[in-house]
Structure 1
Amino acid sequence: MFQKKTPTLSSKEAAIQLLSRRDHGEYELYQKLSLKGYEEQDVQAAVNFCIDHNYLDDLRYAKSQVRQHVYKGHGERRIRQELSQKRVADSVIEAAFEQEPQDWFELAKSAAEKKFKGIKAKDQKEYAKQVRFLQYRGYSFEQISYALSGENEE
């Protein structure tokens, strides 16, 4: 019924076209090219070509992901999880976090202030809701405690 149409671009051209829009991780680029219908050896050749010519760099990709997620107000745990799901190596993730240092406590505090407008929880149920929100965002319990503590009044 449905036939895979053969791609009109070469796998290298398609890879460069994808990378011209935004940085991709190695695994992510491999997956996208495979879904476009390229043969496995062509996909591998295109990925290797991009790596050799520095068009594809997992560290650069990981650093840009860290910056994007920090801008969105996400915490370290969430960023690590997202990068792991995209199959970025743990050593690359560590290097990205070292090269893009953040004050996670202050980020958690600003995320809480933005969401809850500086209003402290009235009861345990509301406090638990605030904690869950910050946990979902990827902050640790220490960072959440700091963010929700009463020490932030000016």
Structure 2
Amino acid sequence: MKQSASARAVSYLANREHSAHELAQKLNKAGFDAEEVEKVIQQLKETNLQSDVRFAESFIRSRANRGYGAVRINMELKDRGVAADIITECMTAAEIDWFTLASEVRCKRFGEEIPDDYKSRAKQQRFLQYRGFTHEQITESFNLTDDEK
């Protein structure tokens, strides 16, 4: 017996939060009609089973805990179809000190020592940039002394 689009969507949401865009993609990939998918997602939003705000909050917390910066998290949320105003609102509400996080990520990966040669410093900067930290956050991660952490 084939599962309904609504039941499938609820099972996806039972595993983790999904953005409306992600949910639509998964349901479309599963072979459900686009009109039906749209209707199901609208019903889930109305019953508050699906919320892009809740998804964004959860995603930001999860990615920051894994050592990713605001730039990358922002980009990934956009890729998942979350509206820019929701992203901005949730990033502000998260109250994450991105400067401290950049420093912690750098120290965890490369150790406490500040690199003394250009090549090592550039490697660490590229790593932090890839992780989604801004230039200012990366620069500051090298300037923090032991007593400031």
Is the structural similarity TM-score above 0.5? yes
In structure 2, runs of 5+ residues without a counterpart are none
In structure 2, the partner of 1:55 is 49
Distance 2:16 2:29 in 1: 18
Q: CA deviation at 1:130?
A: 0.6
Give the AA of the match of 1:13: A
In structure 1, the partner of 2:141 is 147
* Aligned counterparts, 1:112-131, within 5 A: 112-131=106-125
**Secondary structure in structure 2 of the residue aligned to 1:120:** coil
Distance 2:49 2:93 in 1: 20
In structure 1, the partner of 2:70 is 76
* Aligned counterparts, 1:94-133, within 5 A: 94-133=88-127
In structure 1, runs of 5+ residues without a counterpart are 1-6
In structure 2, the partner of 1:92 is 86
* Aligned counterparts, 1:4-23, within 5 A: 8-23=2-17
Q: CA deviation at 1:99?
A: 1.6
| Bigger-Rg structure (1/2) | 1
* Paired residue total: 147
* Pair 1:39-2:33 in alignment: yes
Distance 1:17 1:69 in 2: 23
**Secondary structure in structure 2 of the residue aligned to 1:102:** coil
